[in-house]
Structure 1
Amino acid sequence: MSEFKLRKIVVQVEEILHEGGPVADPAPVKGAVYAICSNPFAGRFEPDLQPAMEWLKPLALRLTDRLVAALGGREGIDAYGKGAIVGEAGEHEHGAIWHVSGGYGMRDRLGECRAIVPSAMKVGGLGSTLDIPLGHLNAAYVRSRFDVITIACEDGPRANEVLFALAMARGGRVHSRMGGLEVDQVKGEDGLR
């Protein structure tokens, strides 16, 4: 990770009690953690970005540990997602570096996770928001876990920086009632059902 100089880490946690209906018990909780780092590729075209995925694995583990702790531990975490915002001197592909690294960190710490890690990447400036999609860890068709958590950093990413984010949730959308595969029906065989 030495190529990506870390400037700061931010953690946010949301507990959703209700959306006009009855108070949920237990209330779903979702959180995100992000790191603002220098972008070693800003301002130039680098033909081979793949080594950077390895450089970022320690950061992914660090962020995963921080978020799991903020959510009160591993127990019950059943949804995840990841994302990146690349500062204006970078390119979209500099956020795609996080695909392997971010997924690796969460899978390493959360254990068996068969479903794809939903993700969103973009180029943006100071204060840009990012809606990080969430999905169930083992079954992509669990509709109650289709959700997002929105992050923003008022002082980043600067033009020569990149924001790398992870997100997790315990429980689905509050008052979820759109049917589909329920958590107790998950087989966890192929990442879909």
Structure 2
Amino acid sequence: MAANRGYNSTSAGTRLRLIEAASEILDEEGYPAFTARRIAGRAELKPQLVHYYFRSMEELVVTVFRRSSASYFRLHDEALSSARPLHALWDLNCNIPEARRMLEYVALGKIYPALRDEMRASGESFRALQIEVIEKVCAQNGIATPPMPAAVLATMMSALARSIVIESNVAMTTAHREIRDYIGATLDLYEPG
């Protein structure tokens, strides 16, 4: 059997078109439309090319997720490097780009174990960075006994922001303002001013 050069191609324009088409499909149509035929159609390519450039649909979705994760990491890094990193992180997570796609990744994670593993590793990495920054903020501001442990605050911020994003997708906004106000006031205890 001849080697398939497309699998190892990382800079091919066609491969990139497929990745972008897969991202658009997830954003606009959701995980049920994540098929080789639909993605190739969106990219205006033949369906066979999906499997030329990716060994499986699992490999494609992991590639798309890694691209999203890298994009979020840049924004996450900017937030954590800002003057008020906890406030910036909260704002980022409440207004996360590609929020719709994140829900689709969760659904696809039930189908594709490699995606689930990638999501777990990425999430744990982000959480560790957040905990580290919360601890650093406490140390810089002389907070010996913070209102809540760093791991609890990081998890609470993430979970509440995720709920706001998910509920906003279905136009539910009840108590969102109150949650934002509460988290803002809580973060002011860590980052006054």
Per the TM superposition, whether the score is higher than 0.5 is: no
Of Structure 1 and Structure 2, which has the larger fraction of its residues in strand? 1
Bigger proportion of residues as helix: 2
Q: Greater relative contact order: 1 or 2 (C-alpha under 8 angstroms, separation 6 or more)?
A: 1
Q: TM-score, normalised by structure 1?
A: 0.31
If you compute each CA radius of gyration, which structure gives the higher value, 1 or 2? 2
Per the normalisation by structure 2, the TM-score is 0.31
